[in-house]
Chain A
């Protein structure tokens, strides 16, 4: 099946810092989503981004489907950004495959 790799596995940021999270995938995909899992375990949809660039407040994402990667940018990080960020791709059979996630801790 398709492989999804996220980097870095862990990230510690001081409040106000910027960061970039990366997601590489091993095959062509029909869909790519970014999620934030907050400390209470809730999965929050951030972006549905099979290709191109999208922005939502301090977050933005870019997917380059031809080169099989996506980037999530967090600017001016806040403590509420802490949690795990997951990238997930839909394979050719319509099944969503998740990466292992990036654990982000934002310190005051």
Chain B
């Protein structure tokens, strides 16, 4: 039981490049989330998917898109990376929005 996995662990991009962050969970959870964490701050919600087939914006969605590929997988795409998107990105999942959330190990992204 791997829990929540994320790939890649590290990535360096140049301004304007695109990339997709992958997230998968094997806990049969319905809801999945993408957060970003900037230095000295707590996590902020980018997008979430309450159930397979639905996605909604969180607190900081600008510059990102998401895809809930199936119940297990939820990807985050940066179409045109900007230095302001340099951050650590965490994926999380839960059985329902009011239950305990479990987090992946994070992806450290640097945009030059």
Interface size on A, residues (CB 8 A): 22
* A100-B42 contact in complex given A30-B98, A48-B100, A94-B50, C-beta closer than 8 Å: yes
The reply to whether the CB of B64 lies closer than 8 angstroms to some CB of chain A is: no
- Shortest Cβ distance from residue B42 to the other chain A in the assembled complex, whole angstroms: 3
A41 beta carbon closer than 8 Å to chain B:
yes
B residues near A4, Cβ cutoff 8 Å: 42
Say if the beta carbon of B74 comes within 8 Å of chain A. no
A interface majority secondary structure: strand
Contact of A96 among B41, B45, B96 (CB under 8 A): B45
Out of A1, A30, A33, A101, which one reaches B101, CB within 8 Å? A33
- A69: min CB distance to chain B, Å: 17
Residues on A with beta carbons closer than 8 Å to the beta carbon of B105: 41-42
- B89-109 vs A, CB cutoff 8 Å, 1 = contact: the mask equals 010100011111111011010
The answer to whether B100 touches A45, judged by C-beta atoms less than 8 angstroms apart, is yes
Q: Contact: B45 with A95, CB < 8 Å?
A: yes
* Chain A residue with the shortest CB-CB distance to B104: A43
Please measure, in the bound complex, the distance between the C-alpha atom of A74 and the C-alpha atom of B26, giving whole angstroms.
32
**B-contact 0/1 string along A61-98, CB 8 Å cutoff:** 00000000000000000000000001010100111101
Given contacts A41-B88, A96-B33, contact A86 B42 (CB under 8 A): yes
Q: Can you sample 21 A-B contacts with CB below 8 Å?
A: A1-B59, A4-B42, A30-B98, A42-B105, A48-B100, A86-B42, A86-B43, A88-B42, A88-B43, A90-B98, A93-B97, A94-B97, A95-B58, A95-B59, A96-B43, A98-B42, A98-B43, A99-B42, A100-B40, A100-B42, A101-B42
Which B residues are within 8 Å of any A CB, using their own CB? 31, 33, 40-45, 48, 50, 58-59, 88, 90, 92, 96-103, 105-106, 108
A residues near B (Cβ < 8 Å) are 1, 4, 30-31, 33, 35, 41-43, 45, 48, 86, 88, 90, 93-96, 98-101
10 smallest CB-CB distances across A and B, nearest first, come from: A94-B97, A98-B42, A48-B100, A43-B103, A30-B98, A98-B43, A31-B98, A100-B42, A90-B98, A41-B106
